[in-house]
Amino acid sequence: MARRYSGEAFTQEFVLLFGFLSGLWIYAGVNPEAEIAKPFIEVINSLIPGTGAGLSFLYWIVSAILTIGSFWSSYTIGDKVGLIAVVLAFIGGIFIGSVGIWFLIAALIIGPYAVKRRRAR
């Protein structure tokens, strides 16, 4: 298998998956993480009554840690310009019904540039 260069990987993983898809889920009005976790929390709550609130809190803590970790990873790979690309893709996902495609195109152009710029340092 051919090795992807880091600008392509950054664009696919952070700009498209983390930024754009997160915004797209908000546009659709769905929280995919909550929808995925809800059945597991219900099963554990039915097995051990009274644990639902604690598990929900634990779930939100883990979600916050993963989100912060994703932002940190995009910063370490793409620097400030990479974060701007991720935020532009996020805005593009939220406004996909109107001007969002232009935000997404801008993010897709900036993403590989951010990695090249970071590597040049």
CA dist., res. 65 & res. 22, Å (int): 16
CA dist., res. 116 & res. 69, Å (int): 22
pTM of the full structure: 0.76
CA dist., res. 34 & res. 41, Å (int): 10
Range from 23-27, 28-32, 89-93, 106-110 carrying the lowest mean pLDDT: 28-32
pLDDT at 1: 45
CA dist., res. 68 & res. 65, Å (int): 5
Summarised one tens digit per residue, pLDDT across range 77-87 is 888 888 898 99
Q: Pull the structure tokens for residue 116.
A: 């090249």
Summarised one tens digit per residue, pLDDT across range 17-40 is 888 888 888 898 887 777 777 777
Q: Pull the structure tokens for residue 74.
A: 């995009």
Summarised one tens digit per residue, pLDDT across range 53-86 is 666 677 778 778 888 888 888 888 888 888 898 9
What's the whole-number average pLDDT of the chain? 81
